[in-house]
Amino acid sequence: MTDNQKNSIVKKYGQPQEIRAFIDYSKKGLEAYEKTVFARMIKDDDVVLDLGCGAGREAHAVAALCSKVYALDLVHGMLRSAKGFVTENNVYFIRADATYLPVRDNSVDVVLMAKQFMNHITVSQRRMITMNEVYRVLKPGGRVYLTVHNDLFNIGTAHLLNGVYKIMHANPDPRKLTRPHGSGDRGADLGSLLVGFFLLRPKSIIVNAYRRIASKVIKEYTGKEAGDWEISRVSDAFSPFKSPYHNFTVKEISSLAFNAGFRIDEMRDIWELSGKRTLPEFLRKGAFTMALVLQKD
Ligand SMILES: C[S@@+](CC[C@H](N)C(=O)[O-])C[C@H]1O[C@@H](n2cnc3c(N)ncnc32)[C@H](O)[C@@H]1O
């Protein structure tokens, strides 16, 4: 990882409002889809390595499911908060860059790269190095869970699809509601839809749609790989700092897994904002997050 890339991640995720947002998010616990997958893939005596652990959300939740968790992050402030949040004594924290893991070969049963960790690794060679590292530290039979944002993702689409979702699932009894399910307030839901509409970046959507044929030209003229952009807002925090971000195509994420030596056990679109409810098929196709389970044979 170059110093510039490292600095932008540290600046962005080290700022107080970003850390606070991740502490709040950690308190909400696992998403419904994460609960299902983790319960299936993590066993009592497993050693789990959590890459990009943030404020400790998944480390805290999976500690009870396994024998040991190593929770790793690049950002000191995130790790400090995680240490305050995670009370289980089988969780150990490591400050390191996930591109070079300070972990022994064949020593880990499960690697988690939850909440789009991989999107933060820009430059394709670095993603390959990271995936090779994950393969190296896993025992044979070891498993990986990761989610990545695909071409459809930007903050505008998130708002737009969330607005559509909320309107479709408006709950008539507001007392029973927890975000991000339908608020029951059609005005607010419509607001989210409109925010999404105006935040949609037609330029990035066109570039993304076009990338399969134009990626070489984009690289030549901008120096960026197709799918590269900068994100200024992750979680619920607005950030003055941008960090590099890479959106994946299906082919790209599957090649990355195959080239590192993994078998893909599962790959599906997930609707991040939906919690427990299921969206109609036509909207699920518009999901911008892909969840994968990989296996080292
Ligand atoms: C979107 S947050 C996810 C936090 C946590 N997994 C969660 O779901 O709440 C991404 C995290 O990855 C960390 N990160 C990004 N690049 C990293 C790298 N190269 N090595 C280690 N951590 C990194 C960031 O500091 C940040 O805490």
Strand 228-234 and strand 108-113: the pairing is: unpaired
**Residue whose CA is at the smallest distance from ligand 1 atom 13:** 52
pLDDT attached to residue 232: 66
Domain span holding position 11 = 3-152+229-295
pLDDT attached to residue 138: 98
The verdict on 34 and 105 lying in the same domain is: yes
Quote the CA–CA distance of 63 and 53 in Å, as a whole number.
13
pLDDT attached to residue 202: 54
The verdict on 139 and 9 lying in the same domain is: yes
Does the Cβ of 1 fall within 6 Å of ligand 1? yes
The verdict on 45 and 116 lying in the same domain is: yes
Q: How much distance in Å is there from the Cα of 119 to the middle of ligand 1? A: 10
Does the Cβ of 147 fall within 6 Å of ligand 1? no
Q: How much distance in Å is there from the Cα of 10 to the middle of ligand 1? A: 10
Number of domains composing the chain? 2
The verdict on 82 and 106 lying in the same domain is: yes
pLDDT attached to residue 296: 97
With b for 16 or more beta-carbon neighbours within 10 A and e for fewer, the 104-138 pattern comes to eeeebbbbbbbbbbbbbbbbeebbebbbebbbbbb
pLDDT attached to residue 268: 82
Does the Cβ of 146 fall within 6 Å of ligand 1? no
Does the Cβ of 127 fall within 6 Å of ligand 1? no
Give the Å distances, CA to CA, from 56 to 21, 126, 168, 169: 12, 24, 33, 31
- Low-confidence stretches of the chain (pLDDT < 50) are 171-184, 236-237, 273-279, 281-282, 284-285
**Residue whose CA is at the smallest distance from ligand 1 atom 12:** 52
Residue 156 structure tokens: 């505008």
Q: Convert the pLDDT of each residue in 241-296 to its tens digit.
A: 778 888 888 888 999 999 999 999 988 877 654 444 444 544 544 567 888 999 99
pLDDT attached to residue 236: 47
Q: Convert the pLDDT of each residue in 61-70 to its tens digit.
A: 999 999 999 9
Of 41, 61, 42, 64, the C-alpha closest to 53 is: 61
**Residue whose CA is at the smallest distance from ligand 1 atom 4:** 54
Q: How much distance in Å is there from the Cα of 74 to the middle of ligand 1? A: 7
How many Cα atoms sit within 13 Å of 64 on the Cβ side?
7
* Residues 275 and 147: beta-carbon distance below 8 Å: no
The verdict on 217 and 234 lying in the same domain is: no
The verdict on 87 and 189 lying in the same domain is: no
Domain edge (last residue) among 207, 227, 247: 227
The verdict on 122 and 265 lying in the same domain is: yes
211-217 own/partner pairs: CB under 8 Å, 24+ apart: 211/151, 211/249, 212/249
Q: What predicted TM-score, i.e. pTM, was given to this entire model? A: 0.82
CB contact set of 236 (below 8 Å; sequence gap of 6+): 21, 24, 25
Q: How much distance in Å is there from the Cα of 100 to the middle of ligand 1? A: 14
Of 40, 33, 38, 32, the C-alpha closest to 50 is: 38
| Cis peptide leading into residue 180 (ω within 30°) | yes
Domain edge (last residue) among 227, 245, 270: 227
